[in-house]
Structure 1
């Protein structure tokens, strides 16, 4: 089951730079022939003249090159410093066949990624936490709705079940509370409880039973 996962991580990479601009969109991450990690990124802000000076002060950046300069943004090639490399999660993602689709740096680093399995997601999450990089899932959904149609689970039920699973709500003992999971989904405890019950019932009916699904949310 291929998943699309939207999550936030707290990493120092480009953190000093983004404080003087509105946002940074990372278009590409790659390794040069000499083994250096480079980012191709668009920088947006009201005063882009400050960017070069801020990059010079950013200890996660070793060097940079301005590639394009339209009126409202700048395109940079950024080579990470040793400190930047230490906090880079991309190699870990690649090891678990996780492909980054979007990376936006603002107050946090928000990433949208294609993840092959839940196990790969959890392993990647654990490696980030081992590195001291906080990791928060914002949204999970399937790349296609084939599995949802098969198991009779609505999109909202699926999202609630997967986040509850990832956060340890179903663990014994529980690693999180109903309120904490509800907070991530921005719904009430009662709404989440009902959504989880319906989702679990639909899964059971469509795997162990034969009753038709109830897609009420």
Structure 2
């Protein structure tokens, strides 16, 4: 980008005193760039900020997140910020969630986060031809299944690696949003005796 173009864009954005108007202008700039992007068919190429009140859950995805995982997601968004947008389908003035129900819920329900985001949520819009109900349902299922069903094993590997790097159970639990029992269970899954150096085995582990 040439200095002159950058200067023009900066001056344009700084001309807005109203946050909502500035966000609207930013979205328009992003959309314009997206239209001329070689990645214009990829939703992630254009992350927009929309008012959280316009984002609504779908009525066909009975997705339940465990309390531990929800706390971890809350901590992740609190400390790391939104690293993944909510995937939505535009329905008139509404935005129906295709993927990211829990991200959208946390963004709307946590007052301090809502203030930080000025009442907005980051979204990507699925391609227009995929906005029908059947297409949205299929997209949601694909997103969920693509993540796989081996999360417990993956978390066990993470706990193992953190332990090897010097974190004790308390630190692991605090950083990953787990209680002591959850940390212990994940250590047991890994099956490495080195992880239990400071633990007493329960009678269930006794072999006679």
TM-score, length-normalised on structure 1? 0.25
Greater RCO (Cα-Cα under 8 Å, separation 6 or more): 1
Normalized per residue, the structure richer in helix is 2
Larger Cα Rg: Structure 1 or Structure 2?
2
Normalized per residue, the structure richer in strand is 1
